[in-house]
Amino acid sequence: MKADQFLLDAEAKAFDREHRRKIRFNIGKYDAAVSVGMKLYDQHELARDRGAYLKATVLEKLDQYLLQFEAAFTARGGRVIWAHDAAEALAEIGKLTKARNAKTVVKAKSMTTEEIHLNQYLESQGVESVETDLGEYIVQLNGERPYHIVTPAMHLSKADINSIFVKHLGTKSTDDAQELVLTARHLLRNKYTAAEVGVTGGNFLIADAGAVAVTENEGNARLSATFPKLHIAVVGIEKVIPKLTDLDLFWPLLSTSGSGQQVTVYNTVYFGPRQPGEVDGPEEMVVILLDNGRTTLLAQPDKRAALRCIRCGACLNVCPVYKNIGGHTYETTYSGPIGSVISPHLSGLPEHKHLSYASSLCGACTTVCPVRIPLHNLLLLNRKQSVEKGYAPTEERAAIGLWKWSMQHRWALDLLPANIKDWTLGRLLGQVGWSKRRAALAVAPASFGELWKRRPTAR
């Protein structure tokens, strides 16, 4: 079961001191940058309020905004494909690559394409899929999934990356970070001009303009979308914002919360394929609007706030659980608090219900969310739903049932001798792992009721 494997992996990572050292070092750098970046805001809390309001407004009328986007985008020659699930999205991408007789696809960092496992699909179709974001390129070489929503190779040190390059690319060993970057840049440069198809995600879908906004720090997304003759953007349906002018709110919220920057280095708005008189851009642009469980979450008013997420990664960086067990332990596309909230709805509650229990409920994630998603409350609602659906483990249900009965029949509990109580308590706590690294708990020899009866009579 996934829950059992999660516990094994979590324990292994939690006691891996080298892993924790790397993560704390890398997240520490982000924390310092974000702390400085927040000082650029005059009224950050007001910006959060506005961001939360706009995203909530869109979710209430999501169908209307999506149709508005489609109408504006197709008016300039773009094409929109609605994909109910990952299988439909992959099938449509397969048709598009076959029509172009594509041998190579260059791909910018995109969590939605990770969600549908696009690289594996293209590989099965005989198409080379090349990640062009440096972090994604590194983890692709190493046969891994992204470790973090924003920073795919956060778990790797400079020495680790050098070893990966030596092993997979046959490069000369070096401890010069700039040399490692230049090596990747040199190897990727020819891929852009050779690829028939470029794939990106989309940070925002702009309803009134019919455009896709992509934000990045390396420029690789621009190259992936410009050189190939076909640009495919795979975007979740929840990424809509009402107006082009709303970017002046969301771009800084995303960049400052995610990396401490005032704005990211490259912010591009794609309005469709190359128009008459334009000198660059793709001949054809297709936007795939991906549902893949999002409407399931949208249909739950008490949980739909999770769809406000702008994928800044701030909740991961602040989460004490994530910082100890790492991103790969979750075995999902989206890790950390936001992953624990949405994965059970996108990928199935029975398989991912355990993720909602992987939280201290400290609320730090809610505190830093730039669009005020009440993440710790949503984790509790997921737990509630899993119990109501009957997905709680048999041992847990038995333990809670026994506790409930004993509380309703206090006299029976008082009849049991202390050693029997200790044994029962030890068994129950052992089921949840309490006693694994803690001293055993012992029940008091006399209950409060018994002590009360023995008290001296007042004179």
Check whether residue 278 and residue 398 sit in a common domain: no
Q: How far apart are CA 221 and CA 219, in angstroms?
A: 5
What pLDDT is attached to residue 267? 97
Check whether residue 238 and residue 116 sit in a common domain: yes
Q: Helix 247-259 vs helix 17-38: angle between axes, to the nearest 10 degrees?
A: 140
The pLDDT tens digits along the chain (459 residues) read: 788 899 999 999 999 999 999 999 999 999 999 999 999 999 999 999 999 999 999 999 999 999 999 999 999 999 999 999 999 999 999 999 999 999 999 999 999 999 999 999 999 999 999 999 999 999 999 999 999 999 999 999 999 999 999 999 999 999 999 999 999 999 999 999 999 999 999 999 999 999 999 999 999 999 999 999 999 999 999 999 999 999 999 999 999 999 999 999 999 999 999 999 998 889 999 999 999 999 999 999 999 999 999 999 999 999 999 999 999 999 999 999 999 999 999 989 999 999 999 999 999 999 999 999 999 999 999 999 999 998 888 877 887 888 888 888 878 877 778 788 888 777 777 766 677 778 877 888 887 888 888 888 755
Q: How far apart are CA 240 and CA 109, in angstroms?
A: 19
Check whether residue 81 and residue 205 sit in a common domain: yes
Amino acid letter at 280? D
User: Which residues, other chains included, contact 410 with Cβ-Cβ below 8 Å and sequence gap of 6+?
Assistant: 449
Q: How far apart are CA 444 and CA 356, in angstroms?
A: 33
Could you tell me the two tokens for 310?
């702008």
Distance of CA 145 to the CA centre of its chain: 12
Q: How far is CA 391 from CA 348, 354, 386, in A?
A: 12, 10, 5
Domain C-terminal end among 270, 292, 314: 292
Q: How far is CA 257 from CA 158, 225, 239, 308, in A?
A: 25, 26, 17, 15
> Could you tell me if residue 365 is inside a domain?
no
Beta partners for residue 155, in sequence order: none
Of 338, 353, 348, give the one whose Cα is nearest residue 85: 348
Across 394-411, b (16+ Cβ under 10 Å) vs e yields: eeeeebeeeeeeeeeeee
Check whether residue 409 and residue 277 sit in a common domain: no
What pLDDT is attached to residue 95? 98
> Could you tell me if residue 159 is inside a domain?
yes
Check whether residue 251 and residue 123 sit in a common domain: yes
Tell me, what CATH number does 132's domain have?
3.40.50.10420
Check whether residue 287 and residue 403 sit in a common domain: no
> Could you tell me if residue 311 is inside a domain?
no
Q: How far apart are CA 11 and CA 273, in angstroms?
A: 49
Check whether residue 244 and residue 128 sit in a common domain: yes
What pLDDT is attached to residue 432? 65
Write down the residue that tokens 């990106």 correspond to.
200
> Could you tell me if residue 347 is inside a domain?
no
Half-sphere exposure of 383 (CA within 13 A, CB side): 13
Could you tell me the two tokens for 97?
């690559």
- Return the CA Rg of the chain: 26
Domain C-terminal end among 227, 262, 292: 292
> Could you tell me if residue 431 is inside a domain?
yes
Q: pTM of the prediction?
A: 0.91
Q: How many domains does the chain have?
A: 2
Domain C-terminal end among 242, 264, 292: 292
Q: Give one DSSP letter per residue of 161-228, joined into a string.
A: HHHHHHHHH-PPP---HHHHHHHHHHHHHHHHHH-SEEEE--SEEETTTTEEEEEESSSHHHHHHHSS
What pLDDT is attached to residue 459? 52
Q: How far apart are CA 261 and CA 266, in angstroms?
A: 12
Check whether residue 125 and residue 258 sit in a common domain: yes
Q: How far apart are CA 406 and CA 424, in angstroms?
A: 12
Q: How far apart are CA 426 and CA 53, in angstroms?
A: 48
* Parent domain of 404: 394-454
Could you tell me the two tokens for 76?
């300039």
Of 76, 83, 107, 79, give the one whose Cα is nearest residue 289: 83
Check whether residue 405 and residue 266 sit in a common domain: no
Beta partners for residue 214, in sequence order: 268
> Could you tell me if residue 131 is inside a domain?
yes
> Could you tell me if residue 115 is inside a domain?
yes
Of 242, 184, 197, give the one whose Cα is nearest residue 55: 242
Check whether residue 239 and residue 95 sit in a common domain: yes
> Could you tell me if residue 246 is inside a domain?
yes
Give, in degrees to the nearest 5, the angle at Cα 101 between 97 and 103. Answer: 80
Q: Three-state SS for 287? A: strand
Region for 88 from its dihedrals, namely left if φ exceeds 0, alpha if ψ lies in -120 to 50, beta otherwise: alpha
Beta partners for residue 240, in sequence order: 205
Q: How far is CA 418 from CA 421, 422, 441, in A?
A: 5, 6, 12
